Amino acid sequence: MYCKHLVEGDYMTEYVEIKDCEKVSARILRRLDELSEKFTSLDNRLYRDNGRKSIQTIINSHGVALKAVLWVGTILMISILSGVVKLIFFT
């Protein structure tokens, strides 16, 4: 028995034996299993706390810290600008 062999997005005109196709299919399926395990691992690291902070928790805490720094910086800049405006126009 024979089957067409897919290579780089285009079908070859030559036929190969089914056992060769089975080897290629097994290799592809093995690689898909490896990728599935990696995605599962990434999902666990992003959204689940396994006794340590997850990546998502770390990102969220950094986001909160950056918002606080931005808020404090804005308040300081407004204070400085209002002081400068008062000094220039009202003295």
Q: What's the total number of domains in the chain? A: 2
Domain that holds residue 65: 60-91
Averaged pLDDT score across all residues of the chain = 79
Q: Are residues 1 and 44 in the same domain?
A: yes
Q: Of all residues in the chain, what percent carry a pLDDT higher than 90?
A: 23
Q: Are residues 42 and 79 in the same domain?
A: no
Q: For the whole model, what pTM was predicted?
A: 0.40
- Predicted confidence (pLDDT) per residue in 19-63, tens digit: 877 888 888 889 999 988 888 887 776 666 666 777 777 888 888
User: Is residue 33 assigned to a domain?
Assistant: yes
Q: Are residues 29 and 66 in the same domain?
A: no
pLDDT of 7? 52
User: Is residue 53 assigned to a domain?
Assistant: no
Q: Are residues 12 and 42 in the same domain?
A: yes
Q: Are residues 14 and 41 in the same domain?
A: yes
Q: With beta carbons less than 8 A apart as the criterion, state whether 54 and 48 touch.
A: yes
Q: Are residues 27 and 66 in the same domain?
A: no
